A and B are shown apart, each in its own frame.
Chain A
Amino acid sequence: MFLELTEEQKLIQETARNFARSELEPLAAKLDREGDRPAFLANLKKLAELGFMGLNVQGEYGGSEAGVVAFSVAMTEIARACASTAVTVSVNNMVCEVIQAVGSQEQKEKYIPRICSGAYAAGSFALTETGAGSDPAGMTTTAVLDGDSWVLNGSKIFITSAPYAGVFVVWAVTDREAPKGKGISCFLVEQGTPGLVIGKQEEKTGQHASATNELVFDNCRIPKDALMGKLNDGFRIAVAELGGGRIGIGSLALGVGLAAMDYATRYSTERVQFGQKISSFQAIQWKIADSYTELEAARLLLMNAAFRKESGRPFAKEASMAKLYATEAANRACYNAVQMLGGYGYTADFPVERYARDVRITSIYEGTSEIQRVIIAREILKNIS
């Protein structure tokens, strides 16, 4: 048993940390409050040039071939500074990986290098619909073959990076008669395709710099070869790829939780009440102890899931466990951090209120905590009955 990062993983962690501290952190509060999309996109471009958009992607497509553990530690470091940037990087990596896993040679050569190099600011993963959130197989967007094209109709919601994504991975029903989940296919739709409408941008609680939009497909016509993977195999593809995304989001949550606790802990050694530093009170010490213990457990769960994926072993259960635990532990850490700062923690003069808002979504997107529990239980029970 060897619980140590390799030299390469440590160097990637160091690069991510240094970049996050000098380029992302100084901008994070401004992005949250006022927004500055050019600055946000400029940092994404720099991250792409450093190789952060395709950590687990082959070099021939412009990826870094650094693996899943490196992806996890990089996500955590980026999220410590800016969760909005981190979620964009996480989704970009997931889009690259899904194209690499099931795309045709032409699709891989066309799209992955554009995301990895930053030619595309982002890629989007368009699965969720108003009536199909935790139950994605219940989607109603359709794709109908018409001559040499597929014609898409319907809408998607909560699509990360939609206004500035170069390409969308879109799921749609291709066989309405098939049993649930057996008639869905996966497509690649380029930004600017006629009939693809970028809809309303959501006003979210946190992660403000990362755009989250509705997508509308209004007789959106795409080439026949925009189908990705096998016809009617799309749902299986989505389920498989979401596992990797969960490692990304768990790692992101860990970063936000650590940022909150690091800030609050330092604050507690300076803030004086009743004539002493509040870190001398057991009530504060227990918050520090509980949160760091939980965040460390989250880190180990994430490392385990990442290591399993990197080793080519099944990792769906481990990724769900890590995502469930890390996001909930990070939510508790942010709650504790606000509590430790008291009223100041509720003001925009201190960063912990931003962490608390940014972290809230992590136990919802990429599969809610409730869905993670369904997956974990199903994985355990299927080996018994």
Chain B
Amino acid sequence: MKILVCIKQVPDMESRFRPNGEKTWYDESDLAFRMNEYDEYAVEQAVQLKEQLGGEPEITVLSIGPERTVEAIKKALAMGGDRAVHIRDDRYYQKDPWQIASMIASYAKGEAFDLIFTGMQSQDRGSAQVGVIVAELLGLSCATTLVGFSYDGGTITVKRELEGGIKGVAKLKLPALVTCQLGLNTPRYPTLPNIMKAKKKEIASLTPAELSGEAELTATAAIYPPAKKGGGLVLEGDIGVQVDRLMGILKEKTAVLR
């Protein structure tokens, strides 16, 4: 079995974000980067499947991004990936999900992967588009927002998180692509010996030009911080009036009283 896991390196979410000079992305110069949280679930699930099948499947890790992306790739290798493909692209942030997915699909087309894992979305852009577009381009069955996964004899059974807290169960025949959501599993810590051994695993390097020349379908016009909010809403007056107003707000603006 051949497995592909697509990962992205994103800033630590505790960072302070500022728009960059072009005002189309955030300034990366003072940020610490990590593997996208949802992609950790993807890597973990792939490694668990490999373990279930006695180590037979080969796991390829793919990531698009600048030089620094190698750190996230090495983490995925330390968690149990076998080899990696790094699509070196310093201008990755100017590409829309269609272009990113086109590059991945172009690489994956010739590789005949049986199963592709991606995160449900990236923590920075958050489009949740790349996985499903890759599946469409490759003609694969696809299930998104997985919170449960099992494999048996060429078929996967997945539990999906739907809107409003509802779960759905689907069975897919391989080849397939799935996107992973919080709650699917608990990603392992990479052990120190495995971090050191990951150095010796193959990381093939490709350029975007070798893969896809697709033009963007959407362009980022501007990125800006949200306007500063005021100090919230202060309810005043008689206690009974305050309670009535609070109840009204909770009913209208939230789901807590439904």
Contact = CB atoms under 8 A, between A and B. Distances in A.
Interface of A: 7-8, 10-12, 14-15, 18-19, 49-52, 55, 59, 63-66, 70
Nearest to B12: A14
Interface of B: 34, 70-71, 74-75, 78, 189-193, 195-196, 198-199
B189 A64 contact: no
6 contacts: A7-B74, A8-B74, A8-B199, A11-B78, A12-B195, A19-B189
Contact of A65 (B74, B196, B198): B196
A66 B196 contact: yes
Given A15-B189, A15-B190, A51-B191, A64 B71 contact: no
A51 B192 contact: yes
Contacts of B78: 11
Nearest to A8: B195
A184 to B, nearest CB: 34
A65 B198 CA distance: 13
B196 A50 contact: no
Contacts of A7: 70-71, 74
A63 B197 CA distance: 12
Contacts of A19: 189
B201 to A, nearest CB: 12
B196 A64 contact: yes
Nearest to B186: A22
Contacts of A10: 71
A64 B192 CA distance: 6
Contacts of B198: 8
B190 A11 contact: yes
A66 B71 CA distance: 16
A55 B199 CA distance: 16
Nearest to B73: A7
Given A7-B71, A11-B71, A15-B190, 12 more contacts: A8-B74, A8-B196, A8-B199, A10-B71, A14-B75, A15-B189, A15-B195, A50-B189, A52-B192, A64-B192, A64-B193, A64-B195
6 shortest A-B CB distances, which residue pairs? Answer: A51-B192, A64-B192, A7-B71, A11-B195, A51-B191, A64-B193
B168 to A, nearest CB: 30
A66 B195 CA distance: 9
Contacts of A52: 192
A15 B70 contact: no
Residue in B34, B75, B78, B193 with the greatest tally of chain A CB atoms within 10 Å: B193
A346 to B, nearest CB: 29
B66 to A, nearest CB: 13
Contacts of B34: 14
A55 B191 contact: no
A59 B193 CA distance: 8
Contacts of B70: 7
A11 B75 contact: yes
Residue in A14, A49, A55 with the greatest tally of chain B CB atoms within 10 Å: A14
A70 B71 CA distance: 15
B3 to A, nearest CB: 22
A50 B192 contact: yes
A11 B9 CA distance: 13
A234 B188 CA distance: 42
A356 to B, nearest CB: 25
B189 A18 contact: yes
Contacts of A14: 34, 75
A15 B78 CA distance: 11
Contacts of B199: 8
Nearest to A116: B193
A312 to B, nearest CB: 18
Contacts of A15: 189-190, 192, 195
B191 A50 contact: yes
Contacts of A65: 193, 196
A14 B70 CA distance: 15
